[in-house]
A and B are shown apart, each in its own frame.
Chain A
């Protein structure tokens, strides 16, 4: 297997230009939403709104202003996290979602049958159906480009290097250095989200540098694998089944007893 590849997205230097979104849609030939009809979301300058089957990069604009001229913008180019333990891959019943030789997570569109289990399983809300294909789609970390030694379209287009591509080991090293630099410069709330291999989901191969609570960026604090809930839920299901079986058998037994009690007593003649 090749080395694990991923993205390091440093949100502190994102300028919200959306070049990554455009490059992604262009390279992957993703269709326009509603035939290109303009849509205003009311979410600051963000009219993409969210990641889905036709938006595999999404620049979130977060306005933090208590007073005019007193606050800040947070901008984050969001993408599939290519989780080391991926919920989508786990639940996919068709084998359409695979882990590649680059340790990335890819949906094979020709295998997917559009059951949408992966959409509900992803803790980040990354996946959705591409209405043209009828299948679930998301970022492939430009599998077609990196197989040929090229950089993914989004990081290639990013003018500030907010999005960096490389081996996960090297990116983590670089990211830790960047956090140290920010701390030294007084930005002490800077931290890495998803860079810890011992953290949730075994670490994220596409991880982020953030300066506020994950919820502010639209990210869960402690993302979980859906299968973590399988044992508990199945156990209670089995308990329910057992209770119903007992209710049924006790009811049938009572019916027999009631009938025996109402019948006139007859002298016992051997076994019934």
Chain B
């Protein structure tokens, strides 16, 4: 039987929205990791904390721009925040993810910017003088905790937004929010590893790397739960986007990075065998396995958003596909 979700229309959330989901996830995840290190880390973690704040701020700004570009009428983007016919009343709906998401992204952007300013001042960038209340102390720690919460929100509401529709795949399982949160954390850790592999303390990089591995395992379990709860809509994956999910996300984006983390010797063996070009390539992969793993996690995280969105976007209204249905 065809699920009822196959009788809805696709919203054409595509080439601006896929990168937004990816970058927004990294931004939210990066802030969350920084918040963890602020609360439970120590002095050597400072450079990662600051990098997390910078990434979160840049991601929030780019994300906002992508969202505005996606609108049919970009000049009216502020209608999301204020009721244009009833100023200055706010446009806020607690039951509409796109509405509370717009506000959540605003709040996240504000906190991330404040945190990044505090970090930049502490590093004496842009000629700023340090303002300690934005870089240490109880107020700052409370702000960072709130930002960490917002980080999770920005990373996860996008999945909830897709579920709170009537579209195939998205609305058929309640797991998308959780899946996007997991992917946000893994891609953020990968981004931090790439950004700071030469600058961060070795112990911090090691922690990021093992955190990423643990998150990838969780992500794989959530992905399986997502597919298992789709019901009849699982058919949507019998095609090109299913192949992308299996090869790009599961194999390249999760399993190979996990192998690089836990079984690096598998890749050493290829290098030692000196099997022509392939051997050289794999030897390099093994030498730079943290970089290789991070790049693959990022590619997998992007392909996850792409596959989840496009698998549903490609589904036409059921009447157009089979003229006489049952």
Instruction: Name A residues whose Cβ lies closer than 8 Å to a Cβ of B.
Output: 41, 43-44, 49-50, 52, 60, 62-64, 87, 90-96, 111-117, 119-129, 133-136, 213, 215-224, 226-227, 229-230, 232-237, 239-241, 243-245, 247-249, 251-253, 255, 259
Q: Is the CB of B156 within 8 A of A237?
A: yes
Q: Is the CB of B33 within 8 A of A226?
A: no
Chain B residue with minimal CB distance to A220? Answer: B4
Query: Contacts A233-B160, A244-B182 given; 7 further ones with Cβ under 8 A?
Result: A50-B9, A112-B72, A120-B165, A127-B9, A233-B163, A248-B40, A249-B36
Q: Is the CB of A113 within 8 A of B93?
A: no
Which of B210-218, B243-251, B262-270, B286-294 is near enough to bind chain A? B210-218
Chain A residues with Cβ below 8 Å from B160 are: 230, 233-234, 237
Chain B residues with Cβ below 8 Å from A243 are: 218
B133 at the interface (CB under 8 A from A): no
Q: What 0/1 pattern do residues 1 to 34 of B give for CB contact below 8 A with A?
A: 0101101111111000000000000000000110
Chain B residue with minimal CB distance to A253? Answer: B40
Q: What 0/1 pattern do residues 193 to 228 of B give for CB contact below 8 A with A?
A: 000000000010011001100110010001000000
A-B contact pairs, 24 of them (CB 8 A): A43-B320, A91-B96, A94-B91, A112-B76, A112-B79, A113-B71, A113-B76, A113-B80, A114-B71, A119-B12, A120-B8, A120-B10, A120-B165, A125-B9, A216-B326, A226-B164, A227-B96, A230-B163, A237-B157, A240-B182, A244-B181, A244-B215, A247-B215, A249-B36
Q: How far is the CA of A111 from the CA of B91 in the complex (A)?
A: 12
Q: How far is the CA of A62 from the CA of B270 in the complex (A)?
A: 61
Most central of B5, B170, B211, B218 by chain A CB within 10 Å: B211
Q: Is the CB of A255 within 8 A of B207?
A: yes
In order of increasing CB-CB distance, the 10 nearest A-B pairs are A114-B72, A218-B319, A237-B177, A240-B178, A220-B4, A93-B99, A125-B9, A113-B76, A120-B165, A134-B72
Q: How far is the CA of A183 from the CA of B91 in the complex (A)?
A: 49
Chain B residues with Cβ below 8 Å from A248 are: 32-33, 36, 40, 211
B295 at the interface (CB under 8 A from A): no
Q: Is the CB of B36 within 8 A of A234?
A: no
CB distance from A220 to the nearest CB of B (A): 4
B237 at the interface (CB under 8 A from A): no
CB distance from B41 to the nearest CB of A (A): 6
Which listed residue (B41, B96, B164, B176) contacts A252, Cβ 8 A?
B41
Q: Is the CB of A247 within 8 A of B177?
A: no
Q: Is the CB of A244 within 8 A of B218?
A: yes
CB distance from B223 to the nearest CB of A (A): 12
CB distance from B259 to the nearest CB of A (A): 19
Chain B residues with Cβ below 8 Å from A255 are: 203, 206-207
Q: Is the CB of A218 within 8 A of B317?
A: yes
Chain A residue with minimal CB distance to B103? Answer: A93
Q: Is the CB of A223 within 8 A of B4?
A: yes
Chain B residue with minimal CB distance to A96? Answer: B79
Q: Is the CB of B72 within 8 A of A245?
A: no
Chain B residue with minimal CB distance to A131? Answer: B72
Q: How large is the interface on B (under 10, 10 to 19, 20 to 34, 35 or more residues)?
A: 35 or more
Given A63-B324, A219-B7, A255-B207; A94-B166 close (CB under 8 Å): no
Question: Which chain B residues in 310-326 approach chain A with CB under 8 Å?
Answer: 317-320, 323-326
Given A237-B159, A241-B181, A248-B40; A230-B207 close (CB under 8 Å): no
Q: Is the CB of B164 within 8 A of A227?
A: yes
Q: Is the CB of A91 within 8 A of B164?
A: yes
Instruction: Name B residues whose Cβ lies closer than 8 Å to a Cβ of A.
Output: 2, 4-5, 7-13, 32-33, 36-37, 40-41, 70-74, 76-77, 79-80, 83-86, 91, 93, 95-99, 102, 152, 156-157, 159-161, 163-167, 170-171, 174-179, 181-182, 185, 203, 206-207, 210-211, 214-215, 218, 222, 317-320, 323-326
Q: How many A-B residue pairs have CB under 8 A?
A: 240
Q: How far is the CA of A227 from the CA of B165 in the complex (A)?
A: 8
Q: How far is the CA of A253 from the CA of B40 in the complex (A)?
A: 8
Q: Is the CB of A123 within 8 A of B7?
A: yes
Chain B residues with Cβ below 8 Å from A249 are: 36, 40
Q: Is the CB of B4 within 8 A of A233?
A: no
Chain B residues with Cβ below 8 Å from A224 are: 4, 166
Chain B residues with Cβ below 8 Å from A115 are: 70-72, 80, 98
Chain B residues with Cβ below 8 Å from A221 are: 4
Given A120-B10, A240-B181; A114-B33 close (CB under 8 Å): no
Q: Is the CB of A216 within 8 A of B325?
A: yes
CB distance from A121 to the nearest CB of B (A): 5
Q: Is the CB of B98 within 8 A of A91?
A: yes
Q: Is the CB of B12 within 8 A of A116?
A: yes
Q: Is the CB of A124 within 8 A of B214?
A: no
Q: Is the CB of A229 within 8 A of B174?
A: yes
Which listed residue (B36, B41, B152, B164) contacts A233, Cβ 8 A?
B164
Q: Is the CB of B317 within 8 A of A44?
A: no
Q: Is the CB of B84 within 8 A of A94?
A: yes
Q: How far is the CA of A240 from the CA of B83 in the complex (A)?
A: 33
Q: Is the CB of A244 within 8 A of B98?
A: no
